[in-house]
Structure 1
């Protein structure tokens, strides 16, 4: 059984004391790849160091996280563009819209999101999208609206940390995207128990979002890639299929998103 964690911030300072052991535990749980979304300029050095140390296991993305968008957005986007032009990345991410914490820079979030979607299409890279809604605005709906409006040829990727309705799941799938399923699927009131039974496993990928959103029974503690099998088992239970089937399909789904420059990581 092989698993892929399609979204984990393993460069985060919460892993500074035991990062080597954390990666070993992930390997023991049959996790062949960990995809690392970038957040901002400050996270690039640590992420790239890991990518250089484990080039076949820790795959980097490049992007500006919406929660990091502020009045320095122009400089942040310039750094993202420079990195995309100079180095190889497996995706553009983590990008998107966040209406949960602060609405001060929403206009700038849309500018950053639009620009990064265009860069992804130009470079034929998938995107990893963050869509966190607030009380008054639905980030998923507004992100999907923008994607439909832009109609960028070949654009694909993952709606990271998908927690939406069945209608939203079907809309994401219709746009050509996978659904990133993580620890929320194990939460009693997470809502995905009403969605996942009706979504074909062909549209799902696994993620942890480590060190955040740890699954039950670790909820509230630091998350890590080794816990991805808990998520896989939850999907298996909800869909009444085997864990091996979930692993096989979600791994194939993830690998299908890898750009050509990662051809060496695809099954022979």
Structure 2
């Protein structure tokens, strides 16, 4: 059993061969694929893929930080409406801060992030956090919530040993590991040695961050097995045990296992 805790298989990159992509995922042992939303333009494509593959794909709702601009409040209103209506969302995501591309709307990004955290608490849903060039600020925003029921996943962790140790202080959060761990110059294997297995989940972030040996090609959920093999090597454990542990971690986080 393998769980892909973060995958965007509803994007246009998969429109030509989605059935084959899903078939390869199943053949690789993937039992669940969790799908983070980006903004209002991706909600319908995401929900239609989840409806077509009900036993495999599960949706989240949220506004991605790179989609935050001067009209972000309209986008947030759509998220609020979706949450208020009957829904099958398993998390609020992906949300967070991205200062890599553009810092113009930093204030708005922070406001959107905090509003969506409040909704997560209101609806008792986990959050899935996107953080790029924003580690300190993310920790600052989350600190007041340390003693609340807020829980979630730090998606696509690529940081240092010191950053990993900082994130472990958020005891109700897991750390998402993807294909970056397989890259030759990645420092992730060192950081992983400080993270207990019960605190990680595996992800692809498809169509991005394809693990070796297919780096440079479009990523898909079936490639999760390549990340699994590297993580198992780092932990010096059988891949089957790592697959089981990380799958249970993810399914518990998303409310599918008690």
Match of 1:244 among 240, 244, 250: 240
**SS of the residue 2:207 aligns to:** coil
- For residues 64-143 of structure 1, what are the structure 2 equivalents within 5 Å? 64-86=63-85, 87-133=87-133, 139-143=134-138
The question of whether the paired residues in 1 share the 8 Å contact of 2:164 and 2:194 is answered with no
Moved more, 34-43 or 80-89: 80-89
Unaligned 5+ runs, structure 1 = 134-138
Q: If the length of structure 1 is used for normalisation, what is the TM-score?
A: 0.93
**SS of the residue 1:244 aligns to:** helix
CA distance in 1, matches of 2:196, 2:229: 16
CA distance in 2, matches of 1:151, 1:208: 28
Match of 1:207 among 197, 203, 208: 203
Structure 1 runs (4+) greater than 2 angstroms displaced: 149-152
**SS of the residue 1:149 aligns to:** helix
**SS of the residue 2:129 aligns to:** strand
**SS of the residue 1:194 aligns to:** helix
RMSD value, Cα:
1.2
Cα-to-partner distance string for 1:13-49 (whole Å, 9 max, x where unaligned): 0000000100000000110000000000000010011
**SS of the residue 2:60 aligns to:** strand
Cα-to-partner distance string for 1:167-204 (whole Å, 9 max, x where unaligned): 22122222121110001000111210211122211111
Unaligned 5+ runs, structure 2 = none
CA distance in 1, matches of 2:122, 2:148: 9
Cα-to-partner distance string for 1:135-185 (whole Å, 9 max, x where unaligned): xxxx12211111112446211110000011222212222212111000100
- For residues 5-20 of structure 1, what are the structure 2 equivalents within 5 Å? 5-20=4-19
CA distance in 1, matches of 2:119, 2:54: 23
CA distance in 2, matches of 1:83, 1:75: 13
Q: Which residue of 2 aligns with 1:136?
A: none
CA distance in 1, matches of 2:127, 2:244: 22
Q: If the length of structure 2 is used for normalisation, what is the TM-score?
A: 0.96
The question of whether the paired residues in 1 share the 8 Å contact of 2:168 and 2:195 is answered with no
